[in-house]
């Protein structure tokens, strides 16, 4: 009976370790992200959306293992913004993006993945942006899809991690 309990306990520990290791293995390297931004409240007069709104935009990023270890996902590199309250689960992460400066406000980040080579994400941001001497209220949402391209980032340098 003691041996059975011991074997079961070891099996549970090994299974738990395997799940944790699998959940943490995201491929570091070159990732391609396509995102589409929509404005719920534009800073332009008459609710006109800024140029490029609603159009897909694709960028390549070099993501380090340290960034995946800290954030669990690809996080935006927005000047003047910090990523806080990061919660990483086996197949998803959530966080807040707090911005100060010309663009001020708070966003919520979400990302999910089913394997180590694909991810989807979204950001919803509410705040203000300084245009000339005026502060304009803004609200926007961005949805993205990312795919791993290569372990070699080539000429794409790793971006510094958000603060």
pLDDT in tens, 73-111: 988 888 899 999 999 999 999 999 999 999 999 999 999
Q: Write down the pLDDT at residue 163.
A: 58
Q: How many whole angstroms separate alpha carbon 101 and alpha carbon 89?
A: 31
Q: Enter the tokens of residue 151.
A: 């372990």
| Banded model confidence at residue 25, pLDDT cuts 50, 70, 90 | low
Q: Write down the pLDDT at residue 7.
A: 29
* Over residues 60-78, mean pLDDT: 91
| Distances from the Cα of 7 to the Cα of 3, 19, 84, 107, 147, angstroms | 6, 18, 41, 47, 40
Q: Enter the tokens of residue 117.
A: 């080579």
pTM value?
0.80
Q: Write down the pLDDT at residue 19.
A: 33
Count, in order, helices (H) and strands (E) of the chain.
2, 7
pLDDT in tens, 26-44: 899 999 999 999 999 999 8
pLDDT at 5 exceeding the cut of 70: no
């Amino acid at each position: 009976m003691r041996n059975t309990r011991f074997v079961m306990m070891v099996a549970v520990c090994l299974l738990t370790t395997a799940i944790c290791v699998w959940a943490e293995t995201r491929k570091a390297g070159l990732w391609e992200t396509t995102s589409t931004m929509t404005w719920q409240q534009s800073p332009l007069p008459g609710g006109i959306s800024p140029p490029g709104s609603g159009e897909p935009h694709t960028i390549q990023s070099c993501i380090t293992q340290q960034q995946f270890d800290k954030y669990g996902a690809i996080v935006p590199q927005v000047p003047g913004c910090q990523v806080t309250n990061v919660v990483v689960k086996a197949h998803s992460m959530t966080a807040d993006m707090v911005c100060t400066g010309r663009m001020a406000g708070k966003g919520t980040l979400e990302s999910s993945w089913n394997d180590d080579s694909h991810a989807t994400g979204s950001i919803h941001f509410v705040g203000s942006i300084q245009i000339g001497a005026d502060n304009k209220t803004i609200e926007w949402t961005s949805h993205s899809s990312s795919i791993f391209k290569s372990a070699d980032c080539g000429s794409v340098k790793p971006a510094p991690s958000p603060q």
